[in-house]
Amino acid sequence: MEDRFEQERMAKVEALRAKGVDPYGSRFDGVAPVAQIAGAYEEGRVVRVAGRMTAMRNFGKAAFADLRDSSGKIQLYMKQDMLDPASVEVLQVLDLGDVIGVDGKLGKSRTGEITVFASGLRMLSKALLTPPEKWHGLRDVEIRYRQRYVDLWANPDVMATFRRRTQIIGAIRRYLDERGFLEVETPMMQAIPGGAAARPFVTHHNTLDLALYMRVSPELYLKRLLVGGMEKVYEINRNFRNEGISTRHNPEFTMMEVYQAYADFNIMMDLTEGLIGSAIDLLHPSRKISYGLHELDFTSPWRRATYDQLLKEHAGVGLDDEAGLRSKAKELGRDPNGEIAAVADRLFESCVEHQLIQPTFVTHYPITLCPLTKASATDPRFAERFEMYIAGMECANAYTELNDPIDQEHRFRNQVEQAEGQLRVVDEDFVRALKVGMPPAGGLGIGIDRIVMVLTNSPCIRDVILFPLMR
């Protein structure tokens, strides 16, 4: 059936060409967004619009149609005796999905709807494939993700989500730029995949005959910049982790990392609350947000609680009770063996994370879980680290950065020894950089995709990534 429709449309393409009309148009200057036209309506004003035709009601020599551009939708009225001959040729071959340019005067229909009464039509791109469900909404999730170029036009809410994504990232950038941070770029391909315990994607550089890895984190390069004297830096870019896919994980995702010399994890908490707050204020000035079944309140200050405090609150056992931790893990079907901090972390995943609905900073993780973090000055069993949770999702991670090269090298080597088959190599050059001298610093990583999920009430990470990875 689709082949027949495509053949019919191809015949219209050939008919246009036979009459000297280019079915794939050319430059079309002076176009105004339809939202702007509707927002400043003036009876009789001559306007020029362009976009995709998403509905049409044909009455022989006249037709009403809906034209949609990236800003919204407007009604068209097209009547043969109001058009020049070339425009009539276009009118006679119009189909849903065609991209057209229209000149005309603004007015209102009998029902009071703002309408462009067309005096000129230009075919800008003849669509050969029929649109899904007559553009009443593309529902098949699999097709939506695979054919985002259709999804954006078929579902206005999807277009709005990605506009908001851009606004959120813009607000975050402005917040950091206004505070003297420099946006930088670090390598996507790395000889040693460092900065996170994650499985990398492997590639190969032919000229150098060198194995390279798509980065799992920019952290170690950004810290090198602190050594070099850049005191406030950030990067918003892609990370790649050769791991699972879920509603919260995509192998290619957007991460922001921020580093500030002479700071610590407490300053990073304030920074996190401020920069996410700036994005929230843009979209939700009340700081109250619906996310799924939850009503989230981002009014400052956000809750701050220690890792141990939350374990006791939700698992009923603390870090000082090794027997209790192992017993609770066994009770819940989690592995009770191995290092006690790892057992505690399994319990934290099972008992605590999903309970952290309101924005919450979880502080003071066991030091053995944090190989790049400075130990607390008051209790070296714990790291000066926080993770920030919203709606049960980890959305940010921050440290008081370890800048002692001897301690860092020792932790790297321990990490390699315990890697259990995963790719781990000590980054000797990073250790060398620390020996040159890195100032005390705070570092922060924020999962941009997850923040966008929360602020746009999107249940799945694929809903906020334009082109998610598909099987």
- Say if residue 214 is in the same domain as residue 112: no
Q: Can you tell me which residue has the tokens 């950091």?
A: 176
pLDDT in single tens digits along all 471 residues of the chain: 557 889 999 999 999 999 999 999 999 999 999 999 999 999 999 999 999 999 999 888 899 999 999 999 999 999 999 999 999 999 999 999 999 999 999 999 999 999 999 999 999 999 999 887 644 455 678 888 999 998 898 889 999 999 999 999 999 999 999 999 999 999 999 998 888 878 899 999 999 999 999 999 999 999 999 999 999 999 999 999 999 889 999 999 999 999 999 999 999 999 999 999 999 999 999 999 999 999 999 999 999 999 999 999 999 999 999 999 999 999 999 999 999 999 999 999 999 999 999 999 999 999 989 888 899 999 999 999 999 999 999 999 999 999 999 999 988 888 777 765 555 688 999 999 999 999 999 999 999 999 999 999 999 999 999 999 988
Q: Residue 299 is which amino acid?
A: T
Structure tokens at 252: 């290619």
CB 193 within 8 Å of CB 213: yes
CATH number, domain containing residue 45: 2.40.50.140
- Say if residue 179 is in the same domain as residue 262: yes
Task: In whole angstroms, give the CA distance from residue 60 to residue 302.
Answer: 62
- Say if residue 229 is in the same domain as residue 294: yes
Instruction: State whether residue 150 is helix, strand or coil.
Output: helix
CATH number, domain containing residue 235: 3.30.930.10
* CA-closest candidate to residue 102, choices 59, 94, 18: 94
Residue 321 lies in a domain: no
Task: In whole angstroms, give the CA distance from residue 16 to residue 95.
Answer: 13
Per-residue pLDDT, 244: 86
Structure pTM? Answer: 0.92
Q: Which of 71, 104, 136 delimits the end of a domain?
A: 136
Helix, strand, coil % over all residues of the chain, rounded to 5: 35, 25, 35
- Say if residue 274 is in the same domain as residue 407: yes
- Say if residue 112 is in the same domain as residue 190: no
Task: In whole angstroms, give the CA distance from residue 384 to residue 397.
Answer: 11
Residues 19, 22, 24, CA angle at the centre, nearest 5°? 150
Residue 221 lies in a domain: yes
384 phi, psi to nearest 5 deg: -80, 80
- Say if residue 105 is in the same domain as residue 204: no
Residue 246 carries which DSSP code? Answer: B
Structure tokens at 36: 């702007």
Per-residue pLDDT, 163: 96
**Count of residues in the chain:** 471
Residue 351 lies in a domain: no
CB 437 within 8 Å of CB 262: no
Residue 284 lies in a domain: yes
Q: How many CB atoms lie within 10 A of CB 405?
A: 17
Residue 325 lies in a domain: no
Task: In whole angstroms, give the CA distance from residue 140 to residue 134.
Answer: 14
Rounded to 10 deg, the angle between the 405-417 and 428-437 helix axes is 160
- Say if residue 173 is in the same domain as residue 95: no
- Is the peptide bond between 132 and the residue preceding it cis, with omega within 30 degrees of 0? no
Q: Which of 105, 136, 167 delimits the end of a domain?
A: 136
Residue 383 carries which DSSP code? Answer: B
Residue 147 lies in a domain: no
Residue 114 lies in a domain: yes
Residue 146 lies in a domain: no
* CA-closest candidate to residue 324, choices 347, 355, 354: 347
- Say if residue 101 is in the same domain as residue 238: no
- Say if residue 100 is in the same domain as residue 185: no
- Say if residue 131 is in the same domain as residue 158: no
Q: State the DSSP string of 328-382.
A: HHHHTTS---S-HHHHHHHHIIIIIGGG--S-EEEE--BGGG-TTBPBPSS-TTB
CB 5 within 8 Å of CB 130: yes
Maximum separation of any 2 CA atoms in the chain, in Å: 88
* CA-closest candidate to residue 461, choices 471, 449, 469, 470: 449
CB 32 within 8 Å of CB 49: yes
Q: Which of 77, 103, 136 delimits the end of a domain?
A: 136
- Say if residue 273 is in the same domain as residue 418: yes
* CA-closest candidate to residue 194, choices 208, 207, 213: 213
Q: How would you classify the pairing of strands 232-240 and 182-183?
A: parallel
Instruction: State whether residue 115 is helix, strand or coil.
Output: strand
Task: In whole angstroms, give the CA distance from residue 251 to residue 273.
Answer: 27
- Say if residue 128 is in the same domain as residue 159: no
| Number of domains observed in the structure of the chain | 2
Residues 229, 436, 413, CA angle at the centre, nearest 5°? 120
- The boundaries of the domain holding residue 367 are 154-302+358-464
Side-chain half-sphere CA neighbours of 175 within 13 A: 20
Task: In whole angstroms, give the CA distance from residue 351 to residue 76.
Answer: 57
